[in-house]
Amino acid sequence: MKYFQIGIVGVAVLLIPLISNQHDTSRDWRSLRATMIATICDLLTEMMCWIVDGQTYPGAMAINTFFAYWTIVFQSLVAVLWFSYVLQLLDWEVPHKYRRLIYLPFIYNMVDLALNPFSNARFIITAANRYTLGLLAPLDIAVTSIYVLSATFMAFIKLKHAVNAYEKHSCYVIIASIILPIIGMTLQWVFDGSYLLLIFFAIGLLCIFINIQNNHITMDSLTGIYNRAYLLVQYDRLIKRVRQGSAMFMLVIDVNEFKKVNDTLGHLAGDHALMEIAGVLRETCADGNGLPARIGGDEFCVIYENIDKGQLDAHIGKSTKTWPRTTKAERSPCPVLPLISPKFQFFAFAPGQARQSVL
144-165 tens-digit pLDDT: 888 888 888 888 888 887 766 6
Per-domain residue ranges for the chain? 2-218, 226-357
Mean pLDDT throughout 96-107? 87
- Write out the CATH class of domain 2-218: mainly alpha
Side-chain half-sphere CA neighbours of 255 within 13 A? 29
Domain 226-357 has CATH 3.30.70.270: yes
Q: How confident is the model at residue 335 (pLDDT cuts 50, 70, 90)?
A: very low
pLDDT tens-digit map of 103-141: 999 999 999 999 999 988 999 999 999 999 888 888 888
Alpha carbon of 333 to those of 198, 222, 269: distances in Å? Answer: 45, 16, 7
Residue 113's pLDDT is 92
* Sheet hosting strand 299-305, strand order edge to edge: 226-227, 291-296, 299-305, 248-255, 342-348
Residue 316's pLDDT is 66
On whether the CB atoms of residues 261 and 269 are closer than 8 A, the answer is yes
What is the percentage of the chain residues whose pLDDT exceeds 70? 82
Q: How confident is the model at residue 336 (pLDDT cuts 50, 70, 90)?
A: very low
Q: What is the value of pTM for the model shown?
A: 0.72
On whether the CB atoms of residues 115 and 74 are closer than 8 A, the answer is no
Mean pLDDT throughout 15-41? 87
Mean pLDDT throughout 56-67? 93
pLDDT exceeds 50 at position 328: no
Closest residue by Cα to residue 291 from 332, 349, 244: 349
Q: What are residue 125's DSSP bridge partners?
A: 131
Positive/negative CA dihedral, 79, 83, 86, 88: negative
Side-chain half-sphere CA neighbours of 336 within 13 A? 2
pLDDT exceeds 70 at position 142: yes
Mean pLDDT throughout 280-289? 73
Q: How confident is the model at residue 288 (pLDDT cuts 50, 70, 90)?
A: low
Alpha carbon of 15 to those of 19, 116, 216, 266: distances in Å? Answer: 6, 33, 20, 41
Residue 112's pLDDT is 92
Q: How confident is the model at residue 204 (pLDDT cuts 50, 70, 90)?
A: confident
Closest residue by Cα to residue 174 from 148, 198, 196: 148
pLDDT exceeds 50 at position 338: no
Query: Which stretch, 52-61, 185-194, 263-272, 283-292, has highest mean pLDDT?
Result: 52-61
Closest residue by Cα to residue 156 from 145, 171, 166, 178: 171
Q: What are residue 304's DSSP bridge partners?
A: 249
Q: How confident is the model at residue 331 (pLDDT cuts 50, 70, 90)?
A: very low
